[in-house]
């Protein structure tokens, strides 16, 4: 099959859509009030609709094959984001971050995700195109991610404490920490401390004296950024396994990421009901790992004559995710973890 490549028109339209989206999601809402569930749901539908508009553009301007590859990658990245957002809930709970401050931290978290996803996509697609044998490595990575998820079926029941995360300890070595939240500030000067102690002693509430201090809000941001990078190691190979074309991979991931702030507040309210969605994601990861291994075998060793078309890949991805959602409402799980989810969603 021919490569999609980097059509100038598609790049310009993608950049225009991303530029508009970044302005709308990051700048226009920078000073917005605390988001409600209704607002979050409406904005989530808007971001999904925008992604589907780009899908329609690829279909009408180029070919349904490329559009299906993009949409399969988008749906997969969106579903994998559910686990990412669950971790975000635990991080916010660990630092006592609530309301508008969550919105502000996610604002900067998305900026980091845009940058790091671009780096991972360039490296990942470059390696994949360099040799068909790399596909076996990616397949093993995706299957390993599925096995990790399979071994932790009740992970959502235990809200991990991220206040001692390695990124927090590392930041504390670089800068002194003021251990209390100070409005919505990430940094605070020594003279701005509510109570400044004697010069020879550490001021109250700080780990050590300094000119500037980081606050728990910045520590929370560091934990979220580093956690997102860790998730990228799982999600990027998975999306590449489905889509492979660099521009389509990045477009799929970015359109999925741009709506994460709104999706976070929706999932905080609805995640207890989607009890079987994680099982659907696990099944998809096994499927994608097997698909990539088969494709690499066809190119590196011997052609088996069997290859799953982009249309069928899209059908499997959407079908399995749909079954996971439907099963969650038809066969609701036990409420054993509701108290833990309440704790996370209340932050």
Specify the DSSP class assigned to residue 178: B
Cα–Cα distance, 109 to 221 (Å, whole number) = 7
Model confidence pLDDT, tens digit, residues 327-344: 887 877 654 444 444 444
Alpha carbon of residue 129 to chain centroid: 24
Model confidence pLDDT, tens digit, residues 191-242: 777 765 444 455 667 778 888 888 888 999 998 888 888 777 777 887 887 7
38: confidence class by pLDDT, cuts 50, 70, 90: confident
Model confidence pLDDT, tens digit, residues 130-183: 777 777 887 787 788 778 777 765 544 445 667 778 888 888 888 888 888 877
Average pLDDT value for the chain: 77
Cα–Cα distance, 154 to 152 (Å, whole number) = 6
pLDDT the model gives residue 208 = 82
Q: Are 22 and 258 spatial neighbours (Cβ–Cβ below 8 Å)?
A: yes
Mention every residue, 6+ apart, whose C-beta is less than 8 A from residue 107.
Answer: 26, 29, 30, 261
pTM (predicted TM-score): 0.73
56: confidence class by pLDDT, cuts 50, 70, 90: very high
Of 149, 148, 153, 146, nearest to 291 (Cα)?
146
Percent of the chain with pLDDT over 90: 4
Cα–Cα distance, 275 to 294 (Å, whole number) = 31
Q: What residue spans define the domains of the chain?
A: 24-177+215-345
């Amino acid at each position: 099959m021919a490569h999609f490549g980097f059509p100038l028109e598609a790049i310009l339209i993608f950049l225009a859509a991303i530029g508009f989206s970044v302005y709308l999601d990051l700048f226009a809402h920078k000073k917005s009030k605390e988001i409600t569930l209704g607002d979050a749901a409406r904005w989530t539908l808007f971001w999904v609709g925008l992604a589907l508009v780009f899908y329609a553009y690829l279909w009408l301007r180029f070919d349904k094959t490329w559009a299906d590859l993009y949409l399969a990658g988008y749906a997969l990245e969106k579903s994998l984001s559910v686990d990412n957002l669950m971790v975000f809930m635990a991080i916010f709970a660990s630092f006592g971050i609530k309301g508008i401050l969550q919105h502000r931290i996610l604002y900067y978290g998305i900026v980091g995700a845009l940058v790091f996803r671009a780096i991972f996509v360039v490296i990942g697609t470059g390696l994949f195109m360099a040799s068909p044998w790399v596909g076996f490595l990616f397949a093993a990575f995706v299957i390993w991610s599925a096995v990790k998820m399979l071994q932790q079926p009740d992970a959502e029941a235990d809200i991990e404490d991220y206040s001692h995360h390695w990124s927090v300890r590392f930041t504390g070595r670089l800068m002194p920490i003021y251990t209390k939240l100070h409005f919505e500030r990430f940094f605070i000067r020594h003279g701005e401390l509510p109570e400044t102690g004697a010069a020879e002693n550490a001021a109250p509430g700080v780990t050590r004296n300094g000119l500037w201090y980081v606050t728990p809000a910045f520590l929370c941001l560091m934990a979220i950024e580093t956690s997102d990078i860790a998730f990228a190691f799982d999600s990027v190979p998975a999306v590449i396994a489905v889509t492979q074309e660099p521009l389509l991979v990045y477009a799929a991931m970015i359109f999925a990421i741009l709506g994460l702030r709104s999706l976070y507040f929706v999932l905080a309210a609805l995640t207890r009901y989607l009890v079987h969605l994680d099982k659907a994601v696990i099944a998809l990861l096994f499927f994608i790992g097997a698909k990539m291994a088969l494709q690499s075998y066809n190119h590196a060793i011997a052609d088996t004559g069997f290859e799953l078309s982009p249309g069928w890949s899209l059908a499997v991805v959407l079908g399995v995710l749909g079954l996971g959602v439907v099963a969650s409402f038809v066969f609701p799980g036990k409420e054993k973890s509701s108290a833990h989810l309440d704790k996370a969603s209340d932050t």
